[in-house]
Structure 1
Amino acid sequence: MAWPSSYVPPGSMLALQQYLGLSSQTGKTKAHDPFSPSPLSRKQDVLFVALSLKTWTYDPERVAEVSLAILDTRGIQHLAPGTSGRGWFGEIERLRLVDKDLAELAKQDSGGVRLPGTEPRETKMLSREDMKALVRSVLRYGLHSERREKRKVLLVVHDQECQERLLWYLDEGAFKKTDVVFTADTQVYASEAGRGVSLARVMKTFHVKNGGRGSHGNDAVYVLQVLLGMVCLRTFEKKKFYQGRARLV
């Protein structure tokens, strides 16, 4: 499947609600209680995969770190979303990939200062090619590639630049074997005018607080939490959702 050209296709908010079981297939019935598992059937099982890429300070052409956060909708079928989706935060799997060659250079150049992301247990130090291979694998199978079960993926980014950087990093040919439904851009969902607002500001505006251990410093986790928070607000507290968007215009 070719990489989708639309970052936020028409009707995608409804599709997000359907994938998360917060809306019926017709869109006429919405879940009404955030503190009970939704009785509505999901559109399909998908993997929500959020990504964040950081380039190296000394060479912006080199990707130093890739942060990933994955939510499998199969794992939340019997869980209540809770306030701003926080009931699902504990199901988010996370991984940070660091270019081991750049990390070694950073140590040499800065007297032992490590690249961001080398501390958490979820971090893997890999060669550049192994990093790319693992990202490709996650986009096809999630974190459990040994099952060899190709999954539908809903990609989540905070802005269009992130996806463009990802395309440049992996090249478009890498996505021919993936099944990406569409890309959810949290920056566009947060501000109707498409105004460039920071991830931190979006989190503050929509009252999405960090939940789940180990997410400190992993921007992909924050991006996925923001998306879940906005979809839940749009479902259960529509007025607050639009008030938040108005503040970011």
Structure 2
Amino acid sequence: DIMINAIDLEWHDRERGELTEIGIAVLDSRDIKNVEPGTNGENWMKQVWYYHLRIKEAGHLQFSKGNPEKFQWGTTVWVTMEQAKAILTDCFNWPAEDIQDPRPRPIVFLGHALHNDIRKLKEKMGLDLDQFGTIVKKVDTQIMAKNVGIGPRRRQVIGLATLCNELGISPSELHNCGNDIAFTMICALLMA
């Protein structure tokens, strides 16, 4: 009865690392309970919800690797930093919807190079997702890839574009964190 929350952040390369975007992908295990994965997990991927948040305070900053205008999985929403923090807090405190158990649902926290995003959430938002006590497992697709024998060519860790290519996915518009987290979720489902 878990929620899989995948998070990716983008930050400005020069302006003190200001947070510019947040990508969120959510998969509720209840939605796939009686669903066959299908070819390459297609049926499960259709159950994922994708979100792309742009941070109002830093939206004017132009120097970064990706194109924040090119989110391919839904609609981009502009939010303040405080609204973004509230959204993430809600994502890690899903109600159980069970009168017998009022505790929030357990969360599997997914990401690619997850340690970077965890550090940025603490630095830029003062948000430590572990404080909620809902995270039962952290899953990093870089580590998953290594564990299933998909390794980097010349680097110690595999990049998202390389991982996608190794799994037969042609990613586009990477470094838009909404797209990045969508491809991260897809890679995780393919490797699971």
* TM-score grouping bracket, smaller chain normalisation: 0.7 to 0.9
Q: Give a deviation string over 1:227-247, Cα, whole Å, max 9, x none.
A: 11001xxxxxxxxxxxxxxxx
Query: Aligned pair in 2 of structure 1 residues 140, 82: CA closer, same or farther (>3 Å)?
Result: same
Q: Please list every run of at least 4 consecutive aligned residues from structure 1 whose deviation after the TM superposition is greater than 4 angstroms.
A: 117-121
Which residue identity is paired with 1:157? Answer: G
Q: Is residue 85 of structure 1 aligned with residue 46 of structure 2?
A: no
* Gap regions ≥5 residues in structure 1: 1-44, 232-249
Q: Is residue 156 of structure 1 aligned with residue 110 of structure 2?
A: yes
Q: Give a deviation string over 1:19-40, Cα, whole Å, max 9, x none.
A: xxxxxxxxxxxxxxxxxxxxxx
Q: How well do the aligned residues superpose, as a CA RMSD in angstroms?
A: 3.1
Whichever of the two has the greater Rg, that structure is: 1
Tell me how far apart the structure 2 counterparts of residues 181 and 138 of structure 1 sit (CA, whole Å): 14
Q: Is residue 71 of structure 1 aligned with residue 32 of structure 2?
A: no
TM-score, length-normalised on structure 1? 0.60
Whether the aligned pair in 1 keeps the contact of 2:92 and 2:132 (CA below 8 Å) is: no
| Structure of higher RCO (CA pairs closer than 8 Å, 6+ residues apart) | 2
Tell me how far apart the structure 2 counterparts of residues 131 and 94 of structure 1 sit (CA, whole Å): 15
Corresponding residue for residue 202 of structure 1: 163
Tell me how far apart the structure 1 counterparts of residues 177 and 11 of structure 2 sit (CA, whole Å): 19
Q: Is residue 56 of structure 1 aligned with residue 30 of structure 2?
A: no
Corresponding residue for residue 123 of structure 2: 168
Whether the aligned pair in 1 keeps the contact of 2:25 and 2:51 (CA below 8 Å) is: yes
Whether the aligned pair in 1 keeps the contact of 2:22 and 2:177 (CA below 8 Å) is: no
Tell me how far apart the structure 2 counterparts of residues 209 and 89 of structure 1 sit (CA, whole Å): 16
TM-score, length-normalised on structure 2? 0.76
Alpha-carbon distance, 1:56 to partner: 1.8
Tell me how far apart the structure 2 counterparts of residues 216 and 75 of structure 1 sit (CA, whole Å): 24
Q: Is residue 220 of structure 1 aligned with residue 187 of structure 2?
A: no
Identity %: 21
Query: Aligned pair in 2 of structure 1 residues 128, 90: CA closer, same or farther (>3 Å)?
Result: same
* Gap regions ≥5 residues in structure 2: none
Alpha-carbon distance, 1:54 to partner: 0.3
Question: Per residue, is there more helix in 1 or in 2?
Answer: 1
Which residue identity is paired with 1:133? Answer: A
User: Which of the residues 76, 94, 102 maps onto 1:123?
Assistant: 76
Whether the aligned pair in 2 keeps the contact of 1:95 and 1:123 (CA below 8 Å) is: yes
Corresponding residue for residue 187 of structure 1: 142
User: Which of the residues 86, 89, 106 maps onto 1:136?
Assistant: 89
Q: Give a deviation string over 1:142-197, Cα, whole Å, max 9, x none.
A: 8x9xxx97221100011132333234344365532240011101101112478311
